[in-house]
């Protein structure tokens, strides 16, 4: 009997040791992102890349964190972080008061710059021209909120992703499209036959941040510390110049504490 007890104890200790492997696996953080919103977040050659995702990868490397990316719809992303499906949301997410009720955000790593996009020959020259028009927005984004509050007479047509909204603009299903400036400019470059134009752009004071489940202060602290290091060593600026060369660099983000 004593021998059996010893054997059972040894087996239990072995299982406990093996449990470390499970802990290691669970340390891989699941990142919810998008596959179709360049230059900030997109899928290329099977790799989730773009300014936001490459910045997060650098932060993770600095903090010895492992990441696993997966694509989802923006409208569902924050709810999926809140429910625990994803540990981090990386998607040029504007930090609004409403969203802060659902998730916690990292320190700001950029700021929201929006554009009104249309096709050449459009009568729309600014936000006033959107009244009575069918305007594409990505559901639950700052663009969606901006249109509803700034041009309440516009007919908002909400889409779950950027590709669907762009297709609607190109085919004439909508008259205009409200979206991030960087994505709007890339739409013009990548779709020359569509004859797209950026009608007007405007910078906001709304910061972008990585989102985590509310109360996850440990992970948030690691992200913020890694971000601070990425700014200080010039990685942030290098990635910004690579992916967002025409976007303004906010004060304090140029590296070296300047």
Strands 110-119 vs 176-180: parallel, antiparallel or unpaired? antiparallel
- Cα→Cα distances 148→86, 112, 125, 137, 164, Å: 29, 17, 18, 10, 20
Which range has the worst mean pLDDT, 63-72, 116-125, 139-148?
139-148
- pLDDT at residue 33 greater than cutoff 90: yes
- Provide the pLDDT confidence category of residue 7 given band limits of 50, 70 and 90: very low
Q: Identify the band that residue 258 occupies on the pLDDT scale cut at 50, 70 and 90.
A: very low
**Which pLDDT does position 254 carry in this prediction?**
87
Taking residues 172-177, report their average pLDDT: 98
Instruction: Please choose, from the candidates 57, 8, 21, 39, the residue with its C-alpha nearest in 3D space to the C-alpha of residue 183.
Output: 39
Question: 251: pLDDT confidence band, cut at 50, 70 and 90?
Answer: confident
The predicted pLDDT at position 256 comes to: 58
Average pLDDT over residues 69-81: 96
Q: pTM of the predicted model, to two decimals?
A: 0.77
* Residue 11 pLDDT class (50, 70, 90 cuts): very low
CB-CB contact of 207 with 111 (8 Å): yes
Q: Which residues pair with 202 in a beta bridge?
A: 114
At 203 the pLDDT is 82
The answer to whether residue 35 scores a pLDDT higher than 70 is yes
- What pLDDT is recorded for position 247? 85
pLDDT at 2 over 50: no
Predicted confidence (pLDDT) at residue 172 exceeds the cutoff of 50: yes
Provide DSSP, 43-92: EETTEEESHHHHHHHHHHHHTT-EEEEEE--HHHHHHHHHTTS-SEE-S-
The pLDDT of residue 17 is above 60: no
pLDDT of 56: 98
Contact 137, 158 (CB under 8 A): yes
pLDDT digits (tens, 9 = 90+) for 212-242: 999 999 999 999 999 999 999 999 999 999 9
Helix (H/G/I), strand (E/B), else coil: 118? strand
């Amino acid at each position: 009997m004593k021998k059996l007890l010893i054997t059972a104890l040894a087996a239990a200790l072995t299982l406990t040791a093996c449990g470390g492997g499970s802990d290691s696996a669970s340390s891989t953080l699941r990142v919810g992102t998008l596959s179709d919103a360049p230059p900030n977040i997109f899928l290329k050659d099977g790799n989730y890349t773009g300014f936001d995702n490459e910045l997060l990868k650098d932060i993770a490397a600095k903090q010895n964190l492992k990441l696993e990316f997966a694509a989802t719809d923006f409208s569902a992303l924050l709810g999926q972080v809140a429910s625990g499906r994803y540990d981090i949301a990386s998607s040029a997410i504007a930090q609004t008061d409403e969203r802060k009720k659902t998730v916690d955000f990292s320190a700001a790593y950029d700021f929201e710059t929006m554009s009104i996009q249309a096709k050449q020959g459009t009568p729309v020259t600014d936000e006033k021209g959107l009244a009575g028009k069918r305007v594409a927005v990505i559901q639950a984004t700052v663009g969606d909120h901006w249109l509803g509050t700034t041009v309440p007479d516009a007919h908002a047509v909400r889409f779950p992703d950027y590709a669907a909204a762009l297709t609607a603009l190109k085919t004439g299903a909508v008259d205009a499209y409200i979206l991030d400036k960087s994505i709007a400019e890339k739409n013009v470059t990548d779709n020359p036959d569509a004859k797209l134009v950026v009608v007007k752009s405007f910078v906001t004071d709304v910061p972008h941040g990585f989102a985590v489940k509310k109360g996850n202060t440990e992970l948030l602290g690691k992200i913020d510390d890694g971000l601070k290091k990425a700014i200080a060593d010039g990685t942030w600026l290098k990635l910004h110049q690579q992916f967002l060369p025409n976007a303004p660099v906010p004060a304090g983000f140029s590296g070296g504490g300047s």
